[in-house]
Amino acid sequence: MPIHPRSFNKVPQVTLIFWLIKILSTTVGETGADYLAVNAGLGTAYTGALMGGLLIVALLYQLSQQRYVPWIYWLTVVLLSVVGTQITDALTDGLGVSLYASTAVFSVLLAVVFVLWYWRERTLDIRSIVTLRRELFYWAAILLTFALGTAAGDLATEALGLGFRVGVVVFGVGIAAIYLAARFGANPVLAFWLAYILTRPLGASLGDLLSQSQEYGGIGWGTINTSVAFLLVIASLVSFKQFNAKEKS
């Protein structure tokens, strides 16, 4: 596969806005998938096919860009979040695969992607996504972090009985601990990927907490209200990033 070096990194700088959009997108992945599959009546199979098709279109457009473009990058992330959720839900609800097994399998697959990525490129630093091959490794890793985060989050909040509120606290504390470790000298690349994985179950727990009825331990906003509210915030933040990108170009 050709390297195709580019002049610009294809991934945004890791700032507070980056993490805010990432967490919000994972929440939309959880509530949006639930809304389409259950409330809209599409079912898991049709929802997966629809979102998979949209993801392919968005990803191809993202790959065709020569530099970071905020709106297409984050659209790809949101669609990956929905598809990653759908993969785990299909395994759990459709095929009866236990959350323990899916968490283990996705952990192994993600580790394999990281090993192959490092073996070929000698780095996992997202500040160096300047070739097509590195970008393909990057998006493969992102998809698996969403699938793994969904499985691990459901395992913690449902199978292990933590519940949505405790799940938000536990995963939030985990991310804070990783941040502190990075501040005190932990490997920044490792810290980034660990935090990235944990934002998925954090966002999923937050989405379930807000959208699920009080009978099931949630606040009761509903999937559509939660999804729309978070999508509006994402759109506002991405528009801000897009405007800044144009100002600097």
pLDDT for position 232: 93
Contact 209, 219 (CB under 8 A): yes
pLDDT for position 3: 46
The closest alpha carbon to 217, from 146, 157, 145, 150, belongs to 157
Name the pTM for this structure. Answer: 0.88
Contact 151, 99 (CB under 8 A): yes
What is the C-alpha separation between 63 and 248, in angstroms, rounded?
A: 22
pLDDT for position 1: 41
Q: Name 90's Cβ contacts closer than 8 Å, sequence gap at least 6.
A: 44, 45, 48
The closest alpha carbon to 44, from 102, 89, 98, belongs to 89
Kindly list the averaged pLDDT for each block of 10 residues, start to end, along the chain of length 249: 59 92 86 78 81 95 92 94 87 89 95 97 92 96 91 84 88 95 94 92 86 82 86 92 67
Domain edges within the chain = 16-248
